[in-house]
Amino acid sequence: MPILIKKAKRINDLPPYLFAEIDRRKREALARGVDLIDLGIGDPDIPTPTAVVEKLIERATVPVNHRYPNSSGLPEFRQAVANWYQRRFGVKLDAGKEVVSLIGSKEGIGNMAVAYVDPGDIVLVASPCYPVYHIGTAFSGGRNYFLPLKKENQFLPDLDSIPGDIAKQAKLLWINYPNNPTAAIADRDFYKRVIDFATKNEVIVCHDAAYTEMGFDGYRPMSFLEVEGAREVGIEFHSLSKTFNMTGWRIGMAVGNADIVSGLAQAKSNLDSGIFQAIQEAGIEALKLGDSIIEPSRKIYQERRDILVSGLRAIGLDCEKPRATFYVWVATPKGLSSAEFTAKLLDEAGVVTTPGNGFGDAGEGYVRFTVCVDQQRLKEVAERIRQVSL
């Protein structure tokens, strides 16, 4: 007799997975032999730079790397992160106290709630957003207070709209610029307002900076830590995933306030044993090479963005030309819901996109396109969508 398998309440209480319907339609279309163009996933199709791969191959054979790594990261990797922050953002970090390695930033984002959220605590999260922020809260028994990102506010959260008692009770505030899924960007002035809010209400600011290296037309997004006062209230999550086309490698970092970083490191050290050291050594190589290996991908994504955006606009779809990220956030036409438009694009055009409401209620009315396919395929997209009956 099989035993009764009962999942934890935190799993049973997970919000409905809104991408399930699109996943099902996608599988059906593939089974029918439809030539799908998949603009659904945010995962670079460009390979990791050769120098980084070669470093891994070389360092994978070294026996000292076959043993347990340190959960917080090799001192050399943490120093390489500090050097990169200094070079790229002019931010000086103490590698021993203000930097921790992550098994991809997703891991650190999830563990932030383990470290800082008690049952009943409030966490301020944008809607739409990368889902890990609010899932982490829920897994720790906290309560999410969602801040809608609206076009009229340039997809920045309106901190003044947060009721005083909520602000006072809040433990963490999650922000993410350049933003997934809206592709919005933030300036120094916004970060200053965030720091004022956090100082006044004693809230820890968690900035997810995964896309700072994917800026176009010469635009270089800033680090939250460049702003005066940020180090007193915040931690920044970063990753080699999108920057160096290394999503499969699982390597990232969190930097910032020494006490906040130390709390995260403490949670981690009880749950994981760090990143394979050879991967950290390859990561050091990537950070050292920096812009010289980032620029070629930046150029590719920028050209693809131009093709997709001009194609979509030519057929009358409403979208901004993003200044950063590999996402394009498109308003649904003719009052269609996100789900309806995504389904039409898939069924009638063989184009896979992601419904905006899958990232939160406030994403309703939008669809997210990525540019993780080559130019040839992207040129086909608008042609195909032109045929869809709207």
Ligand X SMILES: *Cc1c(COP(=O)(O)O)cnc(C)c1O
Residues that bind ligand X (CB under 6 A): 42, 104-106, 130, 176, 180, 208, 210, 239, 241-242, 247, 252
Amino acid (1-letter code) at residue 122: I
Q: How far is CA 155 from CA 178, 237, 301, 307, in A?
A: 11, 20, 22, 24
239 backbone dihedrals φ, ψ, rounded to 5°:
-155, 150
DSSP reduced 3-state for 206: strand
Query: Which ranges in the chain belong to alpha helices (H)?
Result: 9-12, 20-31, 50-60, 75-89, 105-116, 132-139, 164-169, 188-201, 230-233, 240-243, 258-269, 277-289, 291-314, 338-349, 375-386
Q: Judged by CB, which is closer to ligand X: 53, or 390?
A: 53
DSSP reduced 3-state for 260: helix
Shortest distance (Å) from residue 210 CB to ligand X: 4
Q: Judged by CB, which is closer to ligand X: 116, or 133?
A: 133
Q: Judged by CB, which is closer to ligand X: 201, or 212?
A: 212
Q: Judged by CB, which is closer to ligand X: 304, or 368?
A: 368
Q: Judged by CB, which is closer to ligand X: 43, or 121?
A: 43
CA 118 to CA 122: how far, in whole Å? 9
Q: Judged by CB, which is closer to ligand X: 324, or 382?
A: 324
357 backbone dihedrals φ, ψ, rounded to 5°:
-70, -15
Q: Judged by CB, which is closer to ligand X: 48, or 201?
A: 48
Shortest distance (Å) from residue 238 CB to ligand X: 8
Q: Judged by CB, which is closer to ligand X: 241, or 357?
A: 241
Q: Judged by CB, which is closer to ligand X: 252, or 322?
A: 252
Shortest distance (Å) from residue 182 CB to ligand X: 11
Shortest distance (Å) from residue 294 CB to ligand X: 15
Strands 234-239 and 252-256, bridge-based pairing: antiparallel
Shortest distance (Å) from residue 245 CB to ligand X: 11
Other beta carbons within 10 angstroms of residue 387's beta carbon come to 9
Shortest distance (Å) from residue 105 CB to ligand X: 4
Two tokens at 164? 């005083």
User: Closest Cα to residue 232, out of 271, 266, 192?
Assistant: 192
Q: Judged by CB, which is closer to ligand X: 130, or 224?
A: 130
Shortest distance (Å) from residue 325 CB to ligand X: 8
Angle CA(13)–CA(357)–CA(111) in degrees, nearest 5?
50
Shortest distance (Å) from residue 324 CB to ligand X: 12
Shortest distance (Å) from residue 275 CB to ligand X: 11
DSSP reduced 3-state for 266: helix
Q: What is the DSSP letter of 96?
A: T
Other beta carbons within 10 angstroms of residue 45's beta carbon come to 15
Shortest distance (Å) from residue 56 CB to ligand X: 17
Q: How far is CA 138 from CA 9, 141, 171, 235, 340, in A?
A: 10, 5, 13, 20, 29
208's enclosing H/E stretch is strand 204-208
Q: What is the DSSP letter of 275?
A: -
